[in-house]
């Protein structure tokens, strides 16, 4: 893995040793701050911490894209919006970034398309395009597979098809197994699961605004649409719940994140409603059609800081502050 992905090559021949790589990374981050570069080099060499893969891949190179995770919202529900977003994802994956993308705004199967006087094919064919992009545009040019996580709220009318996308059986044209899937769940859904109540499935084109609000505002809008009959169908909330569990047992997905809790606790709530997390679900940041959220990662080897059952907080402080 070190030779294949991390060490630089010229004409297919490895031209770095591991220590050269660490020095390249340190100098790439700190530039002309030689003391900081040397300190970072020694901290990594002594295995106190390591930077994330994109940083190790790209630091000190002509294209120093050092970030691990990118969070995107679909630009808009249109051909231009979908394919502009697809291009963004491809360019991010090309430079070794992992992607979290929410598709709440994409209209459901059978929805009217004014521009063609036709109807939409829904989420599945679109996500198959993203699936093939993740396969084709792997991270860093064959260093590791492309990785996209797709987020959807459970009121979307294509929810059952979404839950089947990674399954091992079924029609191939209804599957997209190379993506990761996640649900962005409002509290109202869990309340109805708990009470064994009905849940209404809606199209974001016919019932707009649900993905851009949370908490009481979401519940008021959702129940307003229910009273107005602006839903495609109604099912038992537990029917969706059992479909989620079945998919998790078979495929390990979808991840489950809780929309209201994430938004209530966020220090970015002043910017707007947070609509997804990242590929690995460890960060929650605001995104919009013109705002891509980014996170940079590094890892400490915590066991290195323990000696005689005491944690060396001084060394830990150095490792988590100095190299950055």
> 69-295 domain in CATH 3.20.70.20?
yes
The one catalytic residue in 76, 121, 161, 280 is 280
Separation between Cα atoms, residue 182 and residue 125, nearest integer Å: 18
Q: What percent of the chain has pLDDT over 70?
A: 98
Q: Is 209:165 a contact under the CB 8 Å cutoff?
A: no
- Whether residue 251 is predicted with pLDDT greater than 80 in this model: the reply is yes
- The verdict on whether omega for the bond into residue 254 sits within 30 degrees of 0, i.e. cis, is yes
What pLDDT score was predicted for residue 146? 86
What pLDDT score was predicted for residue 172? 92
Instruction: Fill in the DSSP letter of residue 172.
Output: G
Separation between Cα atoms, residue 116 and residue 81, nearest integer Å: 16
Q: Using one digit for the tens of pLDDT, what is the confidence trace for 111-154?
A: 999 888 999 999 999 999 999 999 999 866 667 788 999 999 99
What pLDDT score was predicted for residue 143? 72
Instruction: Please give the span between the terminal C-alpha atoms of the chain, in angstroms, as a whole number.
Output: 25
- Whether residue 80 is predicted with pLDDT greater than 70 in this model: the reply is yes
CA distances from 280 to 148, 230, 244 (A): 10, 34, 19
| DSSP letters spanning 14-63 | E---HHHHHHHHHHHHHTT-HHHHHHHHHHHHTTSEEE-HHHHHHTTSSS
Per-domain boundaries in the chain: 1-64+298-321, 69-295
Mean pLDDT score, 99-111: 96
Q: Is 188:141 a contact under the CB 8 Å cutoff?
A: no
278 is catalytic: yes
280 is catalytic: yes
- The verdict on whether omega for the bond into residue 62 sits within 30 degrees of 0, i.e. cis, is no
Q: Which of 16-20, 105-109, 131-135, 142-146 has the lowest mean pLDDT?
A: 142-146
Q: Which single residue is written with the structure tokens 């297919």?
A: 12
The one catalytic residue in 58, 105, 278, 295 is 278
pTM: 0.92
The one catalytic residue in 282, 291, 296, 312 is 282
| DSSP letters spanning 97-144 | -EEEEE-TTSPPTT-EETTTTEE---HHHHHHHHHHHHHHS-BTTTTB
Q: Using one digit for the tens of pLDDT, what is the confidence trace for 258-268?
A: 999 999 999 99
From its phi and psi, is residue 15 left (phi > 0), alpha (psi between -120 and 50) or beta?
A: alpha
């Amino acid at each position: 893995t070190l030779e294949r992905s991390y060490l630089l090559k010229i004409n297919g021949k490895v031209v770095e040793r591991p220590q050269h790589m660490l020095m390249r990374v340190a100098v790439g981050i700190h530039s002309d701050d030689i003391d900081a570069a040397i300190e970072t080099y020694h901290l990594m060499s002594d295995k106190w911490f390591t930077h994330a893969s994109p940083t190790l891949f790209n630091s000190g190179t002509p294209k120093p894209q050092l970030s691990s995770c990118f969070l995107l919202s679909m630009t808009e529900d249109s051909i231009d919006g979908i394919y502009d977003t697809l291009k963004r994802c491809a360019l991010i994956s090309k430079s070794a970034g992992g992607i979290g993308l929410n598709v709440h705004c994409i209209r459901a199967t059978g929805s009217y398309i004014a521009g063609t006087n036709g109807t939409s094919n829904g989420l599945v064919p679109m996500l198959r395009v993203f699936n093939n992009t993740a396969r084709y545009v792997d991270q860093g040019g064959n260093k590791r597979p492309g990785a996209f996580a797709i987020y959807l709220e459970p009121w979307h009318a294509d929810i059952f098809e979404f839950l089947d996308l990674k399954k091992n059986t079924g029609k191939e044209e209804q599957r997209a197994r190379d993506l990761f899937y996640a649900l962005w769940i409002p509290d109202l859904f869990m309340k109805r699961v708990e009470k064994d109540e009905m849940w209404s499935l809606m199209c974001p084109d016919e019932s707009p605004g649900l993905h851009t609000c949370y908490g009481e505002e979401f519940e008021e809008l959702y129940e307003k649409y229910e009273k107005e009959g602006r839903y495609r169908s109604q099912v038992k909330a537990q029917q969706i719940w059992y479909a989620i569990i079945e998919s998790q047992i078979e495929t390990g997905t979808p991840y489950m994140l809780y929309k209201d809790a994430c938004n209530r606790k966020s220090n970015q709530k002043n910017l707007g409603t947070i609509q997804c997390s990242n590929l690995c679900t460890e960060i929650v940041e605001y995104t919009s059609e013109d705002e891509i959220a980014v996170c940079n990662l590094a890892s400490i080897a915590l066991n290195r800081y323990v000696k005689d059952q005491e944690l060396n907080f001084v060394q830990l402080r150095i490792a988590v502050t100095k190299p950055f």
